[in-house]
Structure 1
Amino acid sequence: MSQSAATAGILPTGSRTKPPVAMAGPWAWIRTNLLGSWWSTALTLVLGYIIVRVVFGFVEWAVINAIWSVPYSNKGIPDTTICQNAKGIGACWAIIPDKYRLILFGRYPYDEQWRPAIVVLLFIGLYVVSGMRRFWRKELLLVWVATLALVGVLMWGGIFGLTPVPEDAWGGLPITLILATFGAAFSFPLAILVALGRRSTKLPAVKLLCVLYVELIRGVPLISVLFMASVMFPLFMPAGVNVDKLLRAQIAFILFAGAYLAEVIRGGLQALPKGQAEAADALGLSYWKKTSLIILPQALRLVIPPLVNTFIGFFKDTSLVLIIGIFDLLTMGKIALSDPPWQSFATEIYFALAVVYIAFCFAMSTYSRSLERDLNRSRQR
């Protein structure tokens, strides 16, 4: 066969060359991606062996050899002898049913713990409704206001026949969700205003204030901001006005989150082509209509991943409120370990707490991916 014929893809008459066999299915994927060469095969076998050993060891510790219950004395004191004798061979999950109320609801009165339980369900329901695009209407703002007001009524009490409960008795998962939810709800609009102010060319004083705010907050750790809010904030209040520590911590989170989110949003504004703003100006739109209808929707769509990543980071940073005397979910887990019979079983407590944090963070990241995929579908060709 001549070179020109081979180049043209023409086979001579009577050729018995067979076309390549189409490979599909899981086995074809394994051969292509995991067993494509000798070094790829060797690496696959080594990693597979390590993964199998780790998974089998974890299942053996967490399920097969685990201890699920322990006897209790007449005074309600757990007898953890069986867990002590296990010597780490199996997990002692009996600590979870004994301490889960303390971990989830803190020192909230035992008979009233149905109220923070409802608060947790309200927050989860609010997240689910807010994540559905068919509910993205003006009425959603009223849903947020009503839900957050109901949360305050349930937690504080004192009306509708509910027993009043001071904030010092709050703790656990409701505190974490309150700080994260209120922080996100108020820091996001603050971040938008700061990002727009920092890009302003006609208001140099506003731009300078926004730059100073962002650089000052980003230049110090969150612990410093919490200390300043706890110690310095009351000094600026009028005489006789006392701001509780939960509100001070909430203000610190809002200011800290607003600075970081402002930079993320500013990145989206800078990534947007100038032609969008010029086209809006050509249509005669005012600044706020141009910004709210043209600029911001496109800029926010570009920065969905870093926005959600920032929210996830702040959700986990709520554990730092321990330094000003607020007991969140992680802190209540540490307090549960102060009980002498359970002091040796920190692994089980931290594993259970990790499951809770992972569940919320994974839900946020999954929603972020789906939202980004839906909003970018019109841009795909």
Structure 2
Amino acid sequence: MVGVCAGGMVLIAAAALALGWGLNGPAIGFIAILTFLTAATVSAALGISLSAAGVLVLLVLAWAEYAGWIGGVTALPNMSLPRRLVNLLVLVGVGLVSGLMVRRVFDHYLGASREREARFQGLLGIAVDTYWELDEHFTRTQIWYRSRDNRFVPSARSLKAPWDQTEWEYEPGRDQQHYADLRAHVPFRDLRVRWRRPDGHVHHLLVSGEPRFDGGGRFRGYWGVTRNIDELVAAQEALRRSETTLSTLVATSPDMITLTDMATARYVMVNDTFTRVSGFTREEAIGRTSLELGVWGSTESREEFIRRVATDSRVQDLPCSFVDKWGRPFTLLVSAAVFELEGRKYRCSTAAT
């Protein structure tokens, strides 16, 4: 493209000099079109360079006509009307082709930009539920909600600053810290808040944001995203209730319950009944093996228990002999099962009279 435009400019200048038309030649207008094409489709730097070359050509032609080397305007009567018309029609055609070329380039880059924007919105829609912008005075918040096709649709109304909205509920002490962070123009991540709807239903949200600055470095507010974590909070609450229930059952169970790391054979948990019956405190038992504590009453009981666990990964109501901390013997029915948690195997054992 650059070679064609530069060559065309040389031909225009040569024709204007050879035929004596100078600045009055009908092809002079092509200099502007060639400069435009180069700047629009190649680069601004090359466009400026070709423009400078065009200015030089025009100055040379003007000087040649001024010095009387060429006829200039006096040579125009020698050009026939059809030739002048054809030159101008060609100029119009080249202008049309140039415009179509530039339009094609613009469509290409605009299409690529729209595709990237759509891809970004799609990925953003997978990760978050709303996009928001807060103005530089912290007085107005504009919200975009995620639609079913993961596009973000602007809300019909804007909201006040978060701390001015009675629906927002922060964790204790976090509202003032959040306001201080915004005034300091620092980013924030995963701020946990609650949004209480008029019907009393509460949404749990994680909010993240970053400050916005214009090209001159002036602060223009914040923009960020919000993610609904209702399901996560519900799961955490259910897990907490389950852990509380299980902990209560284990602690109050009349049976001895122990949890053993299969790789080391060391206790990682014992319940109150174990400490009461065996005489060993939790501090004495956890981190040590049953052999180190000496709780087995007979080698045969221990070997039979280990064999069944190794063979079936579980034991049901196996009579086993034990001794307490002071050497007093007792017999219990032992049940056990092996399970895996986070890549490690454990054995949960219960023993009842």
What is the TM-score when the length of structure 2 is the normalising length?
Answer: 0.21
Of the two, which has the highest radius of gyration?
2
Task: Tell me: higher relative CO, structure 1 or 2? Use CA pairs within 8 A at least 6 residues apart.
Answer: 1
